[in-house]
């Protein structure tokens, strides 16, 4: 069984994000970039399934600029067998990425597609669900445990009331949550091995997908700075302030 793992190149989670002076977007010039943390968890889970003998091949996929090759090499250093880069300089929105992945799913015919539940840059939390719809596959989101049994995969997911376990027919789409696993430390020997693993580069037009943006960003701005809090002597004063000043009740 093949496992397809989409990974995204994002601003490193340790970096303080700055907005461009013209408010057109986030400044990523000379900023450290890395693999989206949720996608790193997805790669780790796919590699663990391969180590258990459940999967035979792990394929990492990324969509975006040439520099995404670095992200794919990291995925291969973790344990992915090969990688595919859908190279484009266009602004990729979740629907376009889902269409590209659906085309690759049709081509590669993986048994599982495991990806992060969301990216830490746009926090859209849409690509996995859109992919499942476009590819007409069952889906389990926010997975905290994944177990493959024959032609079924049992996924434990976190919901408001606790935990829910779903049984899906393979092939299926799974999106990962933070508590699924802890990604391994990438060693130097594995980084060197990753440089020799195959990395295929395709264009969106090769897959027959139009990636033109459907949404336009009008303005990007930082949230207003919060004012200092105040102390009140009793509950009556608090309720009065919530009514007259904050106007929330």
Domain boundaries in the chain?
2-220
The answer to whether 127 and 114 are in contact (CB under 8 A) is no
Beta bridge partners of 157: 143, 164
Torsion sign, CA atoms 238, 239, 242, 248: positive
* Pick from 140, 75, 126, 86: nearest CA to 108: 86
pLDDT of residue 26: 84
Beta bridge partners of 153: 148, 168
The answer to whether 167 and 73 are in contact (CB under 8 A) is no
* Pick from 150, 141, 167: nearest CA to 42: 141
**Residues in the chain, pLDDT under 50:** none
Inter-axis angle of helices 127-135 and 94-108, nearest 10: 50
What is the fold, at CATH topology level, of the domain defined by 2-220? Rossmann fold (3.40.50)
| Cα distance between residue 185 and residue 187, in whole Å | 6
pLDDT of residue 28: 84
Global confidence as pTM: 0.85
pLDDT of residue 224: 84
**Which whole-number Å values give the CA distances from 116 to 91, 176, 189, 224, 232, in the listed order?**
20, 5, 26, 30, 43
pLDDT tens digits, one per residue of 129-141 = 999 999 999 999 9
pLDDT of residue 246: 80
């Amino acid at each position: 069984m093949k496992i397809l793992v989409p990974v995204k190149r994002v601003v490193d989670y340790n970096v303080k994000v700055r907005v461009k002076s013209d408010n057109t977007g986030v400044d990523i010039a000379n900023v450290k970039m890395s693999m989206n943390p949720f996608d790193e968890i997805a790669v780790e889970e796919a590699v663990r399934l391969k180590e258990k003998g459940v999967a035979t091949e792990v394929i990492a996929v990324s969509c975006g600029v040439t520099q995404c090759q670095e992200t794919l090499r990291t995925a291969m250093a973790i344990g992915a067998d090969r990688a595919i880069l859908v190279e484009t300089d266009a602004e990729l929105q979740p629907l376009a990425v889902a269409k590209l992945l659906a085309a690759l799913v049709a081509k590669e015919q993986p048994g599982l597609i495991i990806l992060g539940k969301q990216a830490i840059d746009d926090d859209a939390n849409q690509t996995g669900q859109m992919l499942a719809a476009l590819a007409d596959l069952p889906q389990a989101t926010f997975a905290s445990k994944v177990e493959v049994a024959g032609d079924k995969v049992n996924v434990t997911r976190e919901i408001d009331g606790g935990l829910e376990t779903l049984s899906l027919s393979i092939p299926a789409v799974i999106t990962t949550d933070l508590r699924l696993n802890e990604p391994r430390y990438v060693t130097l020997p594995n980084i060197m091995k990753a440089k020799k693993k195959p990395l295929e580069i395709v264009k969106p037009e090769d897959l027959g997908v139009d990636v033109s943006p459907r949404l336009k960003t009008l303005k990007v701005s930082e949230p207003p700075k919060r004012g200092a809090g105040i102390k009140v002597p009793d509950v009556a004063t608090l309720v009065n302030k919530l009514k007259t000043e904050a106007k929330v009740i």
